[in-house]
Structure 1
Amino acid sequence: MKIKEFHYGGLIMNKILESSGSVIDRQSTENLRNKDNQHYLHPWEDIGSFGENQRTVAVGGKGIYLYDSEGNRLIDGPGGMWCTQIGYGRKEMAEVIARQIMRTPYYSPFNLTNDVSAVLAEKLAQMTPGDLNTVFFTTGGSTAVDSALRFVSFYNNCKGRPEKKKIISRQDAYHGSTYLSASASGKTRDKNFQDTAADIISFIGSPNPFRRPVGMSEEEFRDAKVKELEDRILELGPANVAAFIAEPILASGGVVIPPAGYHKMCLDICRKYDVLYISDEVVTGFGRLGHWFASEKVFDIVPDIITCAKGMTSGYQPLGACIVSDNLIAEISGNTGKGTIFSNGYTYSGHPVACAAALKNIEIMEQEKILEHVRETEPYFLQKVKELEDIPIVGNVRGQGLMACVECLLDPDKQSSLALDYEMGGRIDKKCQAMGLIVRPIINMNVMSPPLIITREQIDEMVQILRRGIEQTMDQLVKDGLWEMPVH
């Protein structure tokens, strides 16, 4: 341990550092929290408690662990936001980023190109399925989806079909928080106080097998969900429907895994009615399911457009992409497209530092065989989280690749009070963090998507802590008279 000085806004504070680089000083932690509460409006902020939060202050990271300002080592169960594929503290990433900053920290993508951006575009084209070879760089997943939806509209305008603008999405889907991507998201509570493009977005039901009617098989449920898509296209009119957008696995909706064959059948329906298929791989891309992209390798589809972000840089830099098929580009380019401008883009599209980080991230994943590691580790990971189903309060455990959801239920009819579900999720979160695990409670669901480098021993540690956190919460709910242990 050693003493160091850190400068925050001109204020010099003595800190005690451990080898991890974590800061241990409660007074300084409170100082930072005060600054945070006074000036930082966070994503998904509860405005009613704005300025009163006691957030953990993350100050370091190594491997699968984050370190907070009080010296606690925490397993990053959610992998940041589904994105820390290669883990924290990779020196080679820092070196590449620093070199690129000194060489070319920026260029204007509106009238120039750049070496690393061009090389990354080619690399992504090689990794995507089919003829998806045209890469439009964005700043993240939301802008990737927004760009995809704008491209679909642009494409149909170019083809003289201005009425073909409707987008079909699904309940439980999450596609981002820009205006169009948020409009296409199907988590209704996120829209309680927000305006959306409700005139062009139409929602069909979530393909969540756990919520299927009693007595219905998964195959019957799948067929019903696919028929719902076809019925909606016919209801809206095929001439009016531009695209169907779908996450291969609905991540923030609770790791919802559609029944086998669902995506292929949905793609067939889209092809039947000339509806484009957008596969939102912002979460499932770059190894989360053991492949660079899951659309073809896991779900047997080659979509018209793929969106990606998150794991492309392992969170080291903000970057996303919308990748479009050659067929679509060919239909509107060349002589037919003379003078037609795709008026969409960002100051930081193809940012050279972010692209350099993505290339290094991909190189690390290739050299360390991280995709192979995910495929080898997946059965063990899923087996361990499945063991949590013996806890009375756990209603369902589901997962694929290195992503899973442990859904806790207080009501056997699967309809617990929303307030109580929030309370339960919050308690599990606090108890787990006190024992060294960050979880991400989505109301009553605990989602896990750890860094892809996680080992079996670390999986054991993570699941053991989650088990204790759920069991302690269950016992406390019983003591507080909020829940009764079921009698078998």
Structure 2
Amino acid sequence: MAAQSKIKASELIDAGDDDAVELAKRHLLQPWPYAGSVGNEARALIGEGDGIYITDASGKRLIDGPAGMWCINVGHRREELAKVMYDQAMALSYNTPWYTMNAPSAELARRIADAAPGDLSHTFFTTGGSSAVETALRFMQFYNNVRGRPEKKLILSRGGAYHGSTYLSASLNGRPRDRDWMDGADDLVVKLSSPDPFRRPKETSIAAFTDFLVDQFRDTVARVGAERIGAFVGEPVQASGGVIVPPDGYLKRIREICRENDILYVSDEVVTGFGRLGHIFASGDVFGIDPDMITFAKGVTSGYFPLGGVIISERLLEELRRSNHRDALFGHGLTYTSHPIGCAVALKNLDLLEEGVLAHTREIAPYFQARLKTLEELPLVGEVRGVGLMACVECVADRDSKDPLQLDKNVGKRIDAHCHELGLLVRPLINMCVMSPPLIISREQVDDMVAILREGISRTMDDLRKEGVWRG
């Protein structure tokens, strides 16, 4: 563990905890608010982080079960990353990417190319995952315009998917609650089924379910027309959809259909990239595919600085360079593209990952998955699934119907509240609890996490029984 700073959060701000809560209600607009509380809401105040732990406003120490938001991969309070931020800011805090460049971004692009599968060779840096996916989609549109195929713009996405919050990236999302009250570019997106084996029809084998998914994809291409479809965008593991791990071989078969029909395959590794599955990228090393583009963010800096990007195939760039429209302009860029501080932090973060964190992740992941799997002993738990250091506990009213507890949509929040009291923060998703702790977690800390989660679920079962909501 790196040397720890003695600085306290209270030394960094003037306002006390009560003041921060009141100020938030008055002035801070939270993400994903409900209309009834928008602009008048304060959420759990976190003061400090250290390793796999965070401390809330009351001083309670909690295991950071979601690693922030899938992103604090090397843990909180890494002095190496803080020092790099300071050193880079003192050397060069910013440069305009329109007509200048910086050295950290060039070196980071090289290292990312070295780690990427296939012929992925060039990176466009963004500020996060949404802008990374947006960039990939805009590049697809530009690519087809230059090649004289302006009609080849439709995007294939899937149920359960989450790809961002910008207008076009959010249009790909396949979770109902994301789109119930929000508009999207529905004329550009074609939705497919989620590759969720747990929700497959009764009496359907995994092999048959996989064939169904592949046949549906192929039939959709035939029905819509390959000449109109520009890209397929898919997470190797659907993260915010509930850690949906696709059946073996499914992604390879989808990749082949895309290749056969000149459809760009965009692998969204905003969550799975930079260590979550024990590798820099999961597309090649875990799932054996070589996409045309990979989007990333989150773990690239372990959440210490907002940074994302899209890696693009050398083949695509070469086709553009050879085109008859050499003066065509890819009119896309961000003020903070290739930010020198973000890129410098990412370089040091890569060092930490490659110098031991990736190997530790691969070593501890089977233990993490096995210990969480024991929670299936609880009658409220329908399935525990995952890969690497990401997992989901899905609760159901009964295992035969797999009813996702429509009578109580706050089961995940109930479990989270009990776990918070016991010393664990989880990511509640309606009837699910998602776990994706910092990659530096130890076996003993995994045991602590699972023990608290077991007790939190048990207390929730007691609550539901007392209220007559559930009889399990």
The answer for the alignment partner of 1:22 in structure 2 is none
SS of the residue corresponding to residue 49 of structure 1 reads coil
Match of 2:358 among 371, 374, 398: 371
Residues 102 and 4 of structure 1, relative CA distance in 2, 3 Å threshold: closer
More deviation, 409-418/269-278:
409-418
| Residues 1:334 and 1:408: Cα distance change in structure 2 (over 3 Å) | same
Is 1:430 the counterpart of 2:386? The answer is: no
Distance 1:3 1:115 in 2: 33
1:336 partner SS: coil
For 1:428, the aligned partner's letter is I
Matches within 5 A, 1:381-420: 381-412=368-399, 413-418=401-406, 420=408
Partner of residue 169 from structure 1, selected from 157, 166, 172:
157
In the aligned structure 1, how far is the partner of 2:142 from the partner of 2:40? Answer: 45
Offset of residue 202 of structure 1: 0.4
Q: C-alpha separation between the residues in 2 aligned to 1:332 and 1:296?
A: 25
User: Does the alignment pair 1:131 with 2:119?
Assistant: yes
Q: How does 1:20-419 map to 2 (within 5 A)?
A: 28-50=16-38, 53-334=41-322, 336-367=324-355, 369-412=356-399, 413-418=401-406
1:296-332 Cα shifts (integer Å, max 9, x gaps): 1111100000000100000000000111000000001
User: Quick one: structure 1 residues 4 and 142, their matched pair in 2 at CA, closer, same or farther if it must change by over 3 Å?
Assistant: closer
Is 1:465 the equivalent of 2:452? yes
* CA 1:477–1:115: 2 relative to 1, 3 Å: same
State the Cα distance separating 1:75 from its structure 2 match.
Answer: 0.5
Q: Mark the CA change 1:7 to 1:209 in structure 2 (over 3 Å): closer, same or farther.
A: closer
Q: 2 CA distance for matches of 1:357 and 1:161?
A: 39
* TM-score (structure 2 length as normaliser): 0.96
> Match of 1:480?
467
Distance 1:329 1:256 in 2: 32
Partner SS for 1:462: helix
How far off its partner does 1:482 sit? 1.1
Cα distance in 2, alignment partners of residues 151 and 7 from structure 1: 41
Report SS of the residue matched to 1:48.
Answer: coil
Residues 37, 50 of structure 1: 8 Å contact kept: no
Question: Aligned partners of 2:324 and 2:343: how far apart in 1?
Answer: 32
- Residue correspondences, number: 466
Alpha-carbon separation, structure 1, partners of 2:10 and 2:114: 47
Report if the CA contact (8 A) 2:146-2:323 is conserved: no
- Cα distance in 2 between the residues matched to 1:439 and 1:323: 31
Mark the runs of 5 or more structure 1 residues left unpaired by the alignment. 14-27
Whether the 8 Å contact between 2:276 and 2:439 is mirrored in structure 1 is yes
Residue 76 of structure 1, CA deviation: 0.4
Q: Partner letter of residue 127 of structure 1?
A: A
Distance change (3 Å), C-alpha of 1:236 and 1:31:
same
2:9/2:48 contact within 8 Å kept:
no
The 8 Å contact of residues 146 and 180 in structure 1, kept in 2 or not, is answered as: yes
Partner of residue 3, structure 2: none
* Distance 1:255-1:4 versus aligned 2 partners, 3 A rule: closer
AA of the residue aligned to 1:78: P
User: How far apart are 1:38 and its partner, in Å?
Assistant: 1.4
Answer whether contact 1:435 1:465 (CA < 8 A) is retained.
Answer: yes
Contact 1:61 1:67 in 2 (8 A): yes
> Residues of 2 paired with 1:5 and 1:259: CA distance?
48
Say whether the 8 Å CA contact 1:432–1:466 is kept in structure 2. Answer: yes
2 CA distance for matches of 1:173 and 1:89?
Answer: 32
Q: Deviations over 1:39-88 (max 9, x none)?
A: 11111112212355452211111100011222111100011110011000
- Aligned to 2:87, the other structure's residue is in SS state helix
Hey, what's the Cα distance between the residues in 2 that align with 1:230 and 1:39?
50
Q: Distance in 2 between matches of 1:181 and 1:270?
A: 20
Name which of structure 1's ranges 410-419 and 175-184 shifts more when overlaid on structure 2.
410-419
Contact 2:158–2:192 (Cα < 8 Å) also in 1:
yes
* Separation in structure 1 between the aligned mates of residue 364 and residue 163 of structure 2, nearest angstrom: 28
Classify the secondary structure of the residue corresponding to 1:404: strand
Distance 1:331 1:7, change over 3 A: closer
Give the structure 1 partner of residue 426 of structure 2: 439
Native 8 Å contact 2:30 2:38 kept in 1:
no
Q: Supply the AA of the counterpart residue of 1:305.
A: M
- The amino acid of 2:139's aligned partner reads F
> For the structure 1 residues 468 and 197, does the alpha-carbon distance in structure 2 shift closer, same or farther, using more than 3 Å as the test?
same
- Measured after TM superposition, the shift of residue 6 of structure 1 is 4.4
SS across alignment from 2:24: helix
Displacement of 1:418? 3.6
Question: How far apart are the structure 2 equivalents of 1:374 and 1:88?
Answer: 16
In the alignment, is the contact (CA less than 8 A) between 1:289 and 1:374 conserved in 2? yes
